[in-house]
A = this chain, B = another copy of it.
Amino acid sequence: MTRFHNKVHADKTGREIFVEAALEAAASVDKGFSFRDAGMLVLGNFTSDVFEGQGHTAALMADWLGVNPVPAVRVEDACASSGAALNVGVFAIASGMTDVAIVGGVEKMSQLNTEGVTDALALAADNLYEISVGFTFPSIYAAIASAYLHKYGARWEELAAVAIKNHVNGALNPKAHFQADIMTTAKRIGEKQGRTFANEMDFLKSEFNPIVSSPLRLFDCCPVSDGAAVAVLAADDVAKRYTDTPIHIAGIGQASDTIALHSRPDITTLSATVKAAGDAYKMAGIKPRDIRVADVHDCFTIAEVLATEDLGFFPKGAGGKAAEEGRTSLKGDTPINPDGGLKAKGHPVGATGVAMAYEMFKQLRGEAGAVQVGGAEVGLIHNVGAAGATVVVQVMRR
């Protein structure tokens, strides 16, 4: 995985960022790996069409990795593109079409300004009924947050707790976009402005954390990042050629839901998360309580709260409280987003699903360094497209 960032990749194209991640992936395989070993390339990419004026990106990446003539398939399911690509890789291997696949994701976003990025991301919503009336993703998730806070009598501070926790984790992740906890940021800004902040919440309630779309403030939103992540996927009986400690994909799930929020009976739950997770748990033969650590899709803080509930870790309405009580922190009983999540790690949309697999691979091999969760035998990753019109879940096992 490359670093996720909006500046360090400024002079690179998406293809260069992808190759950077792929080279690292190949070099990190214990017993060695050549791109030529792969019988297929599956690429998650949301819309390089709009971001870079380049479509046909799977074939492009196959070309730049030098793996022609293997089949190269691009999967687009909005921000869940590479999560879905991972499942397509599983299908290809399970079908016997190939024993080894390179599965990756990439997005180069930061060359557009905030307005341009917001417009590009809005392609994932309904352009007839949502986008055309000014509903973009910050406001879509703000609507979800408003409904959630109202329904469960929850407080915005519970959402803020997610941001505080994820920035603490991101500060420990050398590949994260933001590598500072919020108190460090508050002190830095305070010094410049001649202000003192008593604690994170004091800062987060200040004018330095402006409202983006009420009730969501700046620190409730993930940043715009560039980046790529690549995984090597192998059939169970072939994996031992490459490593003595493979990580298994024990269960997979994917589900769809209506594109437009207005078509859903309840917007305080992502029903596609419930369905995709249920399928993945069933295939893995486990229950939510068996998950020791999870990477969930926190494009906005409210999204992490919904995820931890919809995945079955906490009852509905209790996810924010759990974050506030520290239960989802590294030392909590249910560590969520040890890598900082989309919130602090960054969210180059097409790369996010495989970047979650990257973190979980490290966690389950005990190689996660400063953010290692103890006793991580079974983990889960959860990748959301748009506001849950697509959700992909994988259960991974040591």
Q: A34-66: which have CB < 8 Å to B? A: 41, 46-47, 49-50, 52-60, 62-63
Pick out which of these stretches binds chain B: A70-78, A219-227, A359-367, A375-383. A70-78
A95 contacts B84, CB within 8 Å?
A: no
Say whether B59 contacts A256, CB under 8 Å. yes
Nearest CB of chain B from residue A90's CB, rounded to whole Å: 7
Known: A53-B127, A256-B69, A263-B63. A75 touches B78 (CB 8 A): no
Task: Point out the residues of chain B lying under 8 angstroms from A67, CB to CB.
Answer: 256
Bound Cα distance from A124 to B256, whole angstroms:
28
By a CB distance below 8 angstroms, the chain B residues around A54 are: 123, 126-127
Instruction: Specify the chain B residue showing the minimal Cβ separation from A85.
Output: B73
User: Closest CB-CB distance, A24 to chain B, in whole Å?
Assistant: 22
Q: Give the most central of A93, A258, A259: most B CB within 10 Å.
A: A259
Flag if A390 contacts B90 (CB, 8 Å): no
Q: Quick check: is A284 within 8 A (CB to CB) of the other chain?
A: no
Is B88 a contact of A259 with CB atoms below 8 Å? Answer: no
In the assembled complex, A68 has its CB within 8 A of some CB on chain B:
yes
Residues of the B chain whose Cβ atoms lie less than 8 Å from the Cβ of A256 = 41, 58-59, 62-63, 67-72
Q: How far is the CA of A54 from the CA of B260 in the complex (A)?
A: 13
Query: With A and B bound together, what is the CA distance between A389 and B74 in angstroms?
Result: 13
Contact of A94 among B71, B72, B95, B389 (CB under 8 A): B95
User: Is A133 engaged at the interface, CB distance under 8 Å to the other chain?
Assistant: no
Q: Report whether B124 and A68 are in contact in the complex, using a CB–CB cutoff of 8 Å.
A: no
B-side contacts of A62, CB under 8 Å: 256
| A49-B52 in contact given A63-B263, A91-B88 (Cβ < 8 Å) | no
Partner of A49, one of B50, B70, B74, B97: B50
A69/B275 contact (C-beta < 8 A), A49-B50, A56-B385, A76-B74 known = yes
> Which residue from B13, B94, B259 sits with its C-beta under 8 Å from A60?
B259
Q: By the criterion CB–CB under 8 Å, are A56 and B91 in contact? A: no
Given contacts A91-B91, A123-B49, contact A257 B69 (CB under 8 A): yes
A131 touches B389 (CB 8 A): no
* Known contacts A73-B75, A75-B75, A76-B74; is-contact A257 B91 (Cβ 8 Å): no
Determine whether A128 belongs to the interface, using a CB cutoff of 8 Å to chain B.
Answer: yes
Cα distance A125–B57 when bound, in Å?
A: 10
CB distance from A144 to the nearest CB of B (A): 17
A-B contact pairs, 24 of them (CB 8 A): A47-B49, A53-B123, A53-B127, A54-B127, A56-B123, A56-B124, A58-B76, A58-B77, A59-B77, A59-B390, A60-B126, A62-B256, A63-B389, A68-B256, A68-B272, A69-B256, A71-B255, A73-B77, A73-B88, A74-B76, A75-B75, A91-B91, A93-B95, A94-B96
Residues of A within 8 A of B (CB): 13, 41, 46-47, 49-50, 52-60, 62-63, 67-78, 84, 87-88, 90-97, 123-128, 131, 254-260, 263, 271-272, 275, 385-386, 389-390
9 A-B pairs with the lowest CB-CB distances in the bound complex, closest first: A55-B123, A94-B95, A71-B254, A59-B389, A91-B91, A69-B255, A56-B78, A56-B124, A95-B95
